[in-house]
Amino acid sequence: MNVVLFYPRGYGYAGKKPAVSTLAVTLPPIGIVSCAAVLRAAGHSVTVMDAACHYEISNDQWVERIIRCTPDIVGFSTLTASFFDAYDVCRRLKERMGSTIKTVFGGVHVSWGKKLILQQFDAIDCLIAGEGEYALRDLCDNKDPAAIRGLWYRENGTLKNGPDQTKTSLCAMDDLPFPAYDLLADFPRRYAMPLFTYPQGPGASIISSRGCVFACDFCDRSVFHTSFRWNSPEYTFELIKKMRADYGIRHFMFYDDLFTLNRDRVSRLCTLLRESGLGITFNCIVRIGHIDKALIDELKSAGRWMIHAGIESGDQDILNSFKGGLTLESIRHDVTMLHKSGLWVKGLFMMGFPGESAASIQKTIDFACSLPLKDANLTAFTPFPGAPLSRDIGKLGDFDQDFKNWSKMDCVNFLFVPKEVASKEVLEKLYRSFFPRFYNRPFMRMVFAKMIVQSPHSYWRLIKNLPAFLRYARNI
């Protein structure tokens, strides 16, 4: 079959200048290129279109490009915030091509919505709830839809579905071909790692494990549920080696939820990288309380440059409610240990939890500024539809659950206001106060001076796009 896989922007912008978010970071859509690799290995013709890094192309123009490919199937991968952007392209395609094409949606949002999505959005012919690779391959192979795990579809006006995906039916990670990065136009030139998170370019993100053994109530687990699987160290090393040889990639960001959970796997991978002489650096996310000096030394010896640590809150009561087992003492201990080892540490925080007050948010700001963090990411608590916490979210604060708000669920907009906070404006004011205080610390002045030498490519991107960044800074 002839297949087009489309990744939407996720924001309603198309013009001569990119959005600031695109300037700050643009990562390749790994899920789509993984599906593309499996389809190609099965003998199908595949075209990948990534609208997220081609801001200048309108949805009308994307439709024209897709039509020129004369596809049999068009697949869309979406998050909650990008669903309507993808559906806009899907609807326009259906108006032009009708039943000559089949449209299929995948991703975390439709994995939650399933029947609800098909009922409300009639331009979607079918969707895949869960992992996409094997289900999409089976669909393109014209297998009986009733036997395809995770598939929801229409048949003679009736909504039907195949069996659910189970832990035993999920793909064996090492059996998957390497993601088809070569199908991304201008890879890696059109893509960029987050500013000041890498020492040298070009860079790329990769995923070497799937799932999470923890159960944070604010996390949508509609795709992987409670499973946790990983690629072998040898598979991951060969992928890194190939990307270094084919694309000159010098820095990698592991977007695994739990990269360091399997200690033996990490240790073996570090040995392979250390002995290879590839000269690459990499970042990963660690879970506080699950690292020690020996692990840090091993990661650093293999090229580790920055550690991302999920901290979330500086209020112990909030941590007890949403991230059990994590204490302020353990956070301070581990962040200090990472800092003393010479690694750059980026703290990941969230604001606006249910039960959180202005006073507890201020505790988070104070705590973040007291830690030796060289960067921080602050997101707005967002009650994604598939997260367990969303089931009773209306009882915990002010939240409009109208589906029209999906496009605003980007972890920047405050859609939920806890009962303990007076208004959305209070949340936004606290959010805006975080950044100048965090980045104006004396500690950060020394960091910025070092960044000129340690991350020169980021400085060049910042200076090149300075007017856009200054406009954004004034807005917040």
> Tell me: the pLDDT tens digits for 127-184?
999 999 999 999 999 999 999 999 999 998 899 999 999 888 888 999 999 999 999 9
Instruction: Tell me what pLDDT residue 226 has.
Output: 73
- CA quadruple 435, 437, 438, 444: dihedral, nearest 10: 120
Structure confidence by residue, pLDDT tens digits, 358-397: 999 999 999 999 999 999 999 999 999 888 888 888 899 9
Structure confidence by residue, pLDDT tens digits, 61-73: 999 999 999 999 9
Structure confidence by residue, pLDDT tens digits, 277-304: 999 999 999 989 889 999 999 999 999 9
Q: CA–CA separation, 11 vs 410, rounded Å?
A: 9
Contact 128, 135 (CB under 8 A): yes
Instruction: Tell me what pLDDT residue 445 has.
Output: 79
Three-state DSSP at 434 gives helix
Mean pLDDT (the chain, rounded) = 91
Which strand (E) or helix (H) includes residue 134? helix 133-140
Token pair listed for 108? 């975390």
Give me the mean pLDDT over the 41-59 stretch. 93
Contact 144, 153 (CB under 8 A): no
Check residue 86 and report its DSSP letter.
Answer: H
Instruction: Tell me what pLDDT residue 475 has.
Output: 63
pLDDT at 265 over 80: yes
Candidate from 207-216, 389-398, 457-466 with smallest mean pLDDT:
457-466
Write down how long the chain is.
Answer: 476
Candidate from 8-12, 279-283, 387-391, 468-472 with smallest mean pLDDT:
468-472
Token pair listed for 121? 């959005």
Instruction: Tell me what pLDDT residue 20 has.
Output: 64
Which of residues 451 and 63 earns the better pLDDT score?
Answer: 63
Give me the mean pLDDT over the 256-285 stretch. 93
Which of residues 467 and 72 earns the better pLDDT score?
Answer: 72
CATH topology of domain 2-161: Rossmann fold (3.40.50)
Indicate the pLDDT class of residue 450, thresholds 50, 70 and 90: confident
Instruction: Tell me what pLDDT residue 65 has.
Output: 97
Token pair listed for 445? 């002045």
Contact 198, 283 (CB under 8 A): yes
Three-state DSSP at 344 gives strand
CATH 3.20.20.70 fits 195-475, yes or no: yes
pLDDT at 476 over 60: no
pLDDT at 261 over 60: yes
Structure confidence by residue, pLDDT tens digits, 329-343: 999 999 999 999 989
Structure confidence by residue, pLDDT tens digits, 173-184: 999 999 999 999
Indicate the pLDDT class of residue 228, thresholds 50, 70 and 90: confident
User: Where along the chain do its domains lie?
Assistant: 2-161, 195-475
Contact 209, 259 (CB under 8 A): yes
Give the contacts of 402 (CB within 8 A, at least 6 positions apart): none
Cα distances (angstroms) measured from residue 182 to each of 206, 240, 256, 414: 14, 14, 22, 37
Check residue 383 and report its DSSP letter.
Answer: -
Query: Residue 171 phi/psi, 5° resolution?
Result: -65, 145
- CA quadruple 404, 405, 410, 415: dihedral, nearest 10: 180
The pTM (predicted TM-score) of the whole model is 0.93
Q: CA–CA separation, 77 vs 148, rounded Å?
A: 18
Give the contacts of 98 (CB within 8 A, at least 6 positions apart): none
Give me the mean pLDDT over the 97-111 stretch. 95
Indicate the pLDDT class of residue 220, thresholds 50, 70 and 90: confident
